[in-house]
Amino acid sequence: MIHYQQTGQGPDIVLVHGLFCNIAFWWFRVAPKLAETHRVTALDLRGHGFSAMSGEGYRATDLGADVVALMQHLDIKDAHLIGHSFGGAVALAAAVQAPDLVTRLTLADAWVPALQAMPPLNDGAAWQRLRARLSARGIEVEGEMPRVAQAFFEEMLDAEDDGAGAGGAGAFAGIQAGNGRQRPTRAMRRWRELMERTPANRQFRDPGGLGPLELARVSRPVDLVYGGRSRYLKSRDGLMRLLPQARRIEVPNAGHYFPLLRPDAFLGALGRASSEQMGVAQDGTEQP
């Protein structure tokens, strides 16, 4: 069972989150704005959020098939797919499998296994450094934090240090207050269960069915929206080589999680991409 939510009316947009995340990644800032002019569908990927956890099926191609099946179930016939991180690979897989259902792709700091090795999910030394940064802010976390959550907190703390603020996003990354300490939320407990009970850790890294030959078959317009401080520029550059129709859009001074931590910058990049697609410059003049 795949859990989803819909809001708004108009042309369809389907939002696909990345690893460790869920619908909440989009739902509170990005989805409401997009729903002013579109019907927005957001889903929890298999094993995430409120979607079922199966014993197999965590490659990008498997999860892409879940997205296609949901679109068919909801009678979504032509949608703009927006995917973040590994959700970008999932969106690409969906576009390869059902090109007639996809009108456009926006890949936000996408990680594509065929183009870039996955950073380690666990790093003890990095966790000790992060624990010290959190402790300096009076946050003590029980147990070790998964690497995917560590990366989020590192970026969140960097945003606070830069004065950008995190908008309460800390709770999203998997901890919540309790008696002066921090304890794992359901999201973090579920992630640990996913890693321990399923082959997801290995299958996330498996590029089977979404290699360069399959990626090159994507014919729809593709916007590659990446942060200037992204760790996944190798994926972006590989996609630029394989997809001549792709356009590169950079969000300055942004890291991997900018759609959540800097939603206005992400929405601005989407708006800029839409204007360019329609041949209209930012000053309103027609493009040649």
The pLDDT tens digits for 106-139 are 999 999 999 999 766 555 677 788 888 877 877 7
3-state class (DSSP) for residue 7? strand
| Same domain for 178 and 78 | no
Q: How many structural domains comprise the chain?
A: 2
Residue 264: its pLDDT value, please?
94
Could you tell me if 85 and 108 lie in one domain? yes
Give yes or no: residues 141 and 256 share one domain: no
Distance of CA 139 to the CA centre of its chain: 26
Task: Answer yes or no: do 26 and 66 share one domain.
Answer: yes
Position with higher pLDDT, 26 vs 152: 26
Residue 282 placed within a domain: no
Contact call for residues 249 and 273 (beta carbons, < 8 A)? yes
**pLDDT number for residue 123:** 59
Q: Is residue 191 part of a domain?
A: yes
Question: 180: which strand partners?
Answer: none
Among 33-37, 147-151, 265-269, where is mean pLDDT lowest?
A: 147-151
Asked which of 179, 197, 215 is the last residue of a domain, the reply is 197
Give the three-state DSSP class for 188: helix
Note the helical H segments in 115-185: 124-136, 147-161
| Coil/strand/helix, residue 189 | helix
Residue 283 lies in a domain: no
Q: How far apart are CA 219 and CA 204, in angstroms?
A: 24
CATH number, position 209? 3.40.50.1820
Give yes or no: residues 130 and 192 share one domain: yes
| DSSP letter (8 states) at residue 3 | -
Domain range for 233: 4-118+201-277
Of residues 184 and 263, which shows the higher confidence score? 263
Assess whether 110 and 44 both reside in one domain. Answer: yes
Asked if residue 76 and residue 24 are part of one domain, the reply reads: yes
Band (32; pLDDT cuts 50, 70, 90):
very high
Query: φ, ψ for residue 11 (rounded to 5)?
Result: -60, 150
